[in-house]
Copies of this chain bind each other. A is one copy, B any other.
Amino acid sequence: MLELSKKAKTTHLSPIRKFYPYAVDAAQRGIKIYHLNIGQPDIPTPKAYFDAIKSADLIADSYAPSLGQSELINAIREYYKRLGIVLNNEEIVVTTGGSEAISMSMFAILNPGDRVIVPEPFYPNYNTIIRAAGGSITPLSTSVENDYFYADSQMLKKALRKNTKAILITNPNNPTGTILNDKDMAVIIDFAVQNNLYIVCDEVYREICFTGDKLTSILKNDKVKEHLIVIDSVSKRFSCCGARVGALISKNKNIIESVTKYAQSRLSVSTLNQIGAACMYNSADEHYFESVKNEYKKRCDVMVRELSKIEGVRVSPPKGAFYVMASLPIDNADDFQKFLLTEFNDNNETVMFAPAADFYATKGKGKNEIRLAAVLNESDTERAISILKKGIAAYNAAR
């Protein structure tokens, strides 16, 4: 019998993507699906991106440098400069999406058995990526009742284990929409410094902050720069998920040196997508980010408003990013999603979301919770939530 690795056997499919085969079946039966499962915006990607790719006059599509094309690195450096963060080109590594930046961070710091503190609910791919690198997550449990708050020194201390190497935070948070203010950030930084931990800070939703604050980056805490690894991406900022262009940023030379090894081992990031991304960064302005943020704010508001009208649903308005966590009056969100795709439709339409159990490392948590991505326009969002409401009633009636 040919064996699989333990990590592969115990890793789960992504709750955001695992129902894809059911969705394909449903679509083939003529069912229209409102996709609230995946953070894939319908907001147009800046035209500069497509224009740059279309006007690139290459004879061969050749490898880019492993650490990224200098035009893109320069553009990212200038983008950070506008945020008040001064970087050298050597502190920026271009990665295949934010996902690869997380992988490379974890390869650089984790030995087998090491632990990473992550507030739960969390982006479930963190779990797969950390396990692939040989580590595991110690969750910081948060809930809607306490506004998903985790910047608490007692809570952090309790999660510390002998082999804890890092804390991984997402700001603004996916899926909870929480935002860390400067005081919160100071608590986490103090904890990391006292306990000799790296802070891996996923900031891919940076511009999508509804509190009126202008978020910059954890990198502004220059005194603790050795501890900081920032994960970044064009996916959400520019509505450009398909480009798979991200970045790992650190002022810790050892981290960059290690990451360079992994970057070289996978050769490079897509050349054409880097050409597009560089132009997109260079042409981006405040108005674009502002309009994108306002659009997501509207959509989140509509979603929260409509969800609140459903009896038994518990939801809290996100402060940033573009997800809404909700607990539903059902027994099991996985079963419910399967039901919506295989047994239910309303006028030949149904809805997808991400069941939240795999957003938790604590067993048993999140079973009746879902994450909804506010990526559809207002009227589609209203329609999707009305389908959800009818689906809840039908599902509970069928039990």
Chain A residues close to B by CB (< 8 Å): 1-9, 11-14, 16-18, 20, 38, 40-45, 49-50, 53-54, 58-66, 96-97, 99-100, 103, 107-112, 114, 125, 128-129, 132-134, 165, 196, 198, 226-227, 239-244, 252, 254-255, 258, 260-262, 264-273, 276
Contacts and interface: CB of A to CB of B under 8 A. Distances in A.
A261 B11 contact: yes
A255 B20 CA distance: 19
A59 B43 CA distance: 8
- Copy number in the complex reads 2
Most buried by B among A40, A49, A61: A61
A17 B66 contact: yes
A100 B104 CA distance: 13
B266 A96 contact: yes
Contacts of A134: 112, 134
A243 B243 CA distance: 11
A107 B4 CA distance: 9
Contacts of A240: 60-61
Contacts of A53: 53-54, 272
Contacts of A266: 96-97, 99-100, 103, 125
A261 B12 contact: yes
29 contacts: A4-B255, A4-B258, A5-B107, A5-B109, A5-B114, A8-B261, A11-B261, A11-B262, A11-B265, A13-B260, A13-B264, A14-B261, A14-B264, A18-B264, A42-B60, A44-B60, A58-B242, A60-B239, A60-B240, A61-B242, A125-B265, A128-B261, A129-B265, A134-B134, A241-B267, A242-B268, A243-B271, A243-B272, A270-B273
A236 to B, nearest CB: 11
Contacts of A270: 242-244, 270, 273
A97 B269 CA distance: 9
